[in-house]
Amino acid sequence: MTDISALRDQVVQLTKEVGHFILQESAQFDVARLEHKGLNDMVSYVDKEAERRLVARLEQLLPQAGFITEEGTKTEQAEEFNWVIDPLDGTTNFIHGLPIFAVSIALLQRNELVLGVVHDICRDECFHAVKGGGAFCNGKKISVSQAPALKDGLIATGFPYYTFDLMPEYLKVMGTFMQSCHGLRRLGSAALDLAYVAAGRFEGYFEFNIHSYDVAAGALLVQEAGGQVTDFSGGRNYVFGRQICVSNNPVVQQEMLDLIAPFWQEKMKAGANA
């Protein structure tokens, strides 16, 4: 039987070690070694080396596990366990010297999140959770905000940066949110958006066209901190469904989903007519 709690402690240490490597490289980052995967979709040698280090160690910790990785270091998936890895979530921030980026590692057991670790590199905060065991930051238990309603909350989101066909609709959604809460923030790291909801710093977060490696670890953090996690339709397809909505309580969650619904229905209608 796999000891998930023991794995957590080893993964926490691993993220700190790789985070230290990333922080060292940020002080001497060579922009000339930057690569473009697509429009505004960049990858650096730091991303690739960080992922290589993570995969090498995780293979030792759980040899039978498969991998879902952002940079494709290893992509073979297994039947029971799969690691979901973002070696440097917030690459654009990293490239520009903005100190908001993280290492994110999740473990899926038969598509159920059982372990999540997000290491906030520049703040040296390591958020971690095991299914059924609560959420923690640097070993101290954390919980979601007690704000009762959306109007009392600060909400995070992400902006489209390479697929702009839905930009008009998404801007309408953001405009609606801006009028319905204390404010809307865009950090540039989905993993940290989610970790900060778990820690009570944000009351909610939503994003469209997001990847599993961006949200898997953070989604478990929010759940274990007492929060709500769904897709835009209120369902459970938030790891692989390319959309996620999280909040601190059911009331805020429903308010957020209600604001998103017109945009989402419009998108689905457009897709059906395409």
14 marked as binding residue: no
SS (H, E, C) 199-215: CCCCCEEEEECCCHHHH
Among residues 96, 142, 97, 143, the alpha carbon closest in space to that of 249 is found at 143
| Environment class of 112 (CB within 10 Å of its CB; exposed 0-12, middle 13-18, buried 19+) | exposed
Residues 107 and 117 sit within 8 Å (Cβ to Cβ): no
47 is in an annotated binding site: no
Q: How far apart are CA 22 and CA 26, in angstroms?
A: 6
Q: Check the annotation: does 70 bind a ligand.
A: yes
The b-or-e profile of 84-95 (16+ CB within 10 A means b, else e) is: bbbbbbbbebbb
Judge whether 89 is annotated as a binding position.
yes
The neighbouring-strand residues paired with 81 are 109
124 is annotated as contributing to ligand binding: no
Q: What whole-number distance in Å separates Cα of residue 122 and Cα of residue 101?
A: 7
Neighbours of 128 (CB within 10 A): 28
> Which residues contribute to the annotated binding site for Mg(2+)?
70, 86, 88-89, 214
**Residues annotated within a binding site:** 70, 86, 88-89, 214
